[in-house]
Amino acid sequence: MTPVDVVLIGRNEGERLVAGLASLEGAARRVVYVDSGSTDGSVDAAKQAGAEVVELDMSVPFTAARARNAGFDALMASSPKPDIVQFIDGDCRLVEGWIDAARAHLEADPQLGLVTGWRCEIHRDASLYNQLCDFEWHRPAGEILACGGDMMVRAKAVSAVGGFDPTVIAAEDDEFCTRLRKAGWRLERIPMDMTRHDAAMTRFGQWWQRAIRTGHGFAQVGYLHPDYFVSERRRVLVYGLVLPLIAIIGGFFSWWILILALAAYGLSYVRTVQGLVRESLPRAEAQRHAVLLTLSKFPNVIGMAVFHWRRLRQAQMRIIEYK
């Protein structure tokens, strides 16, 4: 049975980190915790839990991708080197039984480079925003194009593609998965709970900031891989930029143009509700979620603009935080 090593990343996760470390006890051969400038005692908590600790140099902008690379490099720098690595975020707890099931699935197929499962929100109904996150995590099982940051990966696959891109501040997991697929590896999601996540998102401002970050990810990963996030970028541009311009400019000439633009948003909302219901979300929740998903195009387009402004100015890509 191939041993599994863990890379856990975090910044000021507090009790969430303590719970995450506790969930790893006895599940892995080695645990490397990578800290991105915490001021809440996270480093001491990780050491007390028996994890190896890597502290990032904070003179360089930190990203989740950079942290994961640092953890993986720490594993590779000592013996025995890893064969299978489980990446997990510091606001997550590992579900019991996941390691064994995912390892068996990975080992059964030599072409399989990555296995992931389902994240579940610990406090799903604490807010509408947590509910939305929980729904986002539950994508269909089977072969996939990409997944979130919690994933089990073959070490040789990570090395083959050069790890994560440390300049990608959002959707870095999508970008990493895209390079894995282009390198010939298959990725799968198995129908099993993998981690319990604590989004701790209770305010509209947090959701708005997270949506800006998402838009930044759409633009940056789309710039690196033009064949990825194509429909996402198109929807954001249509509903977050083109329609508002048509409504504002056209409204000076005819109120019908303004009405038609608003009707387009109404149609988009109805279609979103229908799609969510088809995916088994209760209608009442689907209606509430659809409001946010329709509204999200505006912060998304801001995030896309931020990326391209940074790119044109050759500025550093700094992380956009919502917690």
Tell me, what's the pLDDT at 64?
94
Question: Is there a domain that residue 146 lies in?
Answer: yes
Name the stretches of the chain with pLDDT < 50.
none
225 and 97 within one domain: no
Question: Is there a domain that residue 95 lies in?
Answer: yes
302 and 178 within one domain: no
Tell me, what's the pLDDT at 238?
97
* Chain segment 63-85, per-residue pLDDT in tens: 999 999 999 999 999 889 999 99
210 and 137 within one domain: no
Tell me, what's the pLDDT at 109?
96
- Taking the C-alpha atoms of residue 83 and residue 80, their distance in angstroms, rounded to an integer, is 9
189 and 255 within one domain: no
Tell me which residue of 294, 291, 88, 124 sits closest to 199, measured CA to CA. 124
Residue-number span of the structural domain to which 231 is assigned = 205-313
Note every long-range contact of 223-232, with CB atoms under 8 Å and residues 24 or more positions apart, other chains counting: 223/307, 223/308, 223/311, 224/165, 224/168, 224/175, 225/175, 225/178, 228/145, 228/174, 228/178, 229/171, 229/174
Are the CB atoms for 130 and 121 separated by under 8 Å? yes
Given 202, 222, 247, which residue is the final one in a domain?
Answer: 202
58 and 104 within one domain: yes
* Chain segment 190-220, per-residue pLDDT in tens: 999 999 999 989 999 999 999 999 999 999 9
Q: What is the CATH number of the domain that holds 104?
A: 3.90.550.10
Question: Amino acid letter at 320?
Answer: I
Given 157, 186, 202, which residue is the final one in a domain?
Answer: 202
Tell me, what's the pLDDT at 155?
97
Count of structural domains within the chain? 2
164 and 93 within one domain: yes
Given 154, 172, 202, which residue is the final one in a domain?
Answer: 202
233 and 188 within one domain: no
Tell me, what's the pLDDT at 30?
95
| Residue showing tokens 């970028």 | 233
78 and 10 within one domain: yes
Separation in Å, CA 214 to CA 79, 208, 283: 38, 10, 25
Question: Is there a domain that residue 323 lies in?
Answer: no
Tell me, what's the pLDDT at 59?
83
For the chain, the distance separating the N- and C-terminal CA atoms, rounded to the nearest angstrom, is: 39
